[in-house]
């Protein structure tokens, strides 16, 4: 029997009983549990095989509940919350003592956001606790953007995937931390850098493992297909390198006429970056199922969401 269901009341019952439930968000599906339940949070880490040093994002229903999670809110954090919530911006702020260490990997900061998905907003409003929800995929594999992706990963391990349709943003939230009350980008994501700079001015990006070993979502290899995957700025030049191999191609918008390509998928036929972001993981899931020898992905224009998509493709193609 399928574990996929649209029944929000059932999700409320399971989460209240300290169970783990997969939930939809506008970014990717999350594996959710009560932040105050050690049992639920441990089950999230075990199900994902996520190392305990990798902290979780706390999901809240409204800006009002922020002061139950964090100690103080710098002015620019308040501006960002007002500009983008509900939406795919995660703020890393000084945590309240009541936030369990297992959520924050022992750090004195906590990551928090309001997701912009009607089903999950209703769910959060009906619960009397926030939800911790990392992406609903085994650690370092491709993130899930449909209920079916989650079911394929975890049907024997969890009782329910709350179905909210395909994720509209399609890549993870943009994570912003604060140093001396000034915002810093820890992870590029579904809110474009330019949109954030419009609210808080020029912002530093520190999203490399070597620079911020304590922002573990930035591990070098992440979001990765099982199939060997390469990223290129010039498809026609790289194709001969894989002659005789079964090649799957991911282009931004163009169709490549070349007999050596077995299958090709464009992220957006009209060259739209928002559409590309929402299609990215599904395209990777589709090609990864096809027993190809190699997936070749084309680098996108390096602005707006193109920058965030290139960041994900870079990690998907990184060697361990």
142 binds, among ligand AMP, Mg ion, none (CB under 5 to 8 A by kind): none
172 DSSP 8-state letter = P
Q: Is the peptide bond before 86 cis (omega within 30 degrees of 0)?
A: yes
CA separation for the pair 269, 39 (Å, rounded): 45
Could you say whether residue 47 binds Mg ion (CB under 5 A)?
no
Nearest in space to 116 (alpha carbons), one of 147, 83, 85: 85
Angle (CA) 56-59-60 rounded to 5° is: 145
Could you say whether residue 178 binds ligand AMP (CB under 6 A)?
no
Residue least distant from ligand AMP (Cβ): 217
Nearest in space to 215 (alpha carbons), one of 315, 311, 319, 111: 111
CA separation for the pair 129, 152 (Å, rounded): 28
For residues 257, 259, 260 and 264, what is the CA-based torsion angle, rounded to 10 degrees? 50
Residue least distant from Mg ion (Cβ): 135
State which residue, 160 or 215, has the beta carbon closest to ligand AMP.
215
Q: Which of 20, 81, 111, 161 binds ligand AMP (CB under 6 A)?
A: 111
Residues 122-141 that bind Mg ion (CB under 5 A): 135
* Three-class DSSP category at 59: strand
Total residues at the site for ligand AMP (CB under 6 A)? 20
Could you say whether residue 191 binds Mg ion (CB under 5 A)?
no
Six token digits for residue 74: 């710098």
Show the binding pattern over residues 194-233: x = contacts ligand AMP (CB under 6 A), - = does not.
---------------------xxxx---------------
Q: Which of 150, 162, 175, 292 binds ligand AMP (CB under 6 A)?
A: 175
CA separation for the pair 270, 250 (Å, rounded): 15
Could you say whether residue 317 binds Mg ion (CB under 5 A)?
no
Show the binding pattern over residues 27-66: x = contacts ligand AMP (CB under 6 A), - = does not.
---------------------------xx-x---------
State which residue, 135 or 173, has the beta carbon closest to Mg ion.
135
């Amino acid at each position: 029997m399928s574990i996929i269901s649209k029944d929000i009341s059932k999700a409320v019952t399971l989460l209240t009983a300290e169970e783990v439930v997969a939930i939809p968000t506008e970014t990717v599906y999350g594996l959710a549990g009560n932040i105050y339940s050690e049992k639920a949070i441990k089950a999230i880490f075990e199900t994902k095989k996520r190392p305990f040093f990798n902290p979780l994002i706390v999901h809240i229903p409204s800006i009002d509940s922020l002061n139950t999670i964090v100690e103080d809110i710098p002015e620019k954090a308040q501006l960002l919350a007002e500009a983008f919530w509900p939406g795919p911006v995660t703020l890393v702020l000084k945590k309240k003592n009541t936030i369990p260490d297992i959520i924050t990997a022992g750090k004195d900061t906590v990551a928090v956001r309001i997701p912009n998905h009607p089903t999950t907003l209703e769910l959060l409003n009906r619960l009397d606790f926030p939800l911790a929800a990392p992406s609903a995929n085994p650690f370092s594999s491709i993130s899930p953007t449909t209920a079916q992706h989650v079911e394929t990963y975890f049907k024997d391990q969890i009782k329910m995937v709350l179905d909210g349709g395909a994720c509209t943003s399609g890549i993870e939230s943009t994570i912003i931390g604060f140093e001396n009350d000034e915002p810093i980008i820890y992870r590029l994501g579904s809110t474009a850098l330019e949109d954030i700079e419009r609210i808080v001015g020029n912002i530093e990006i520190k999203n490399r493992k070597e620079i911020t070993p304590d922002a573990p979502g930035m591990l070098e290899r992440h979001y990765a297909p099982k199939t060997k995957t390469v990223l290129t700025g010039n498809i026609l030049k790289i194709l001969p390198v894989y002659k005789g191999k079964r090649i799957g191609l991911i282009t931004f918008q163009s169709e490549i006429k070349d007999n050596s390509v077995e299958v090709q998928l464009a992220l957006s036929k009209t060259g739209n970056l928002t559409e590309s972001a929402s299609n990215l993981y599904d395209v990777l899931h589709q090609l990864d199922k096809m027993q190809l020898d190699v997936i070749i992905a084309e680098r996108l224009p390096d602005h707006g969401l193109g920058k965030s998509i290139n960041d994900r493709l870079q990690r998907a193609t990184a060697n361990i």
